[in-house]
Amino acid sequence: MALRNILGSDDPALKKHSRHVADYNRRLHILLDDMRETLLEANGLGLAAPQVGVLRRTALIIDTSIESDDPEGQIVELVNPEITMCCGEQTGNEGCLSVPGVYGIVTRPQQVEVRAFDRHGKPFGMTVSGLTARAVCHEIDHLDGVVFTSLAERFLSDEEIEMMAAERRAAMDRDAAAGREGPPATGDEPAANDIKLAANDNKPDVSTEGH
By annotation, the residues acting in catalysis are: 139
Angle at 133 between CA 132 and CA 135, to 5 degrees: 60
Residue 90 bridge partners (DSSP): 108
Phi and psi dihedrals of 76, rounded to 5? -115, 125
Q: Could you tell me the strand order of the sheet in which 90-94 lies?
A: 90-94, 104-108, 154-155
Residues 6+ apart with CB under 8 A from 203: 101, 103, 161, 162, 165, 190, 191
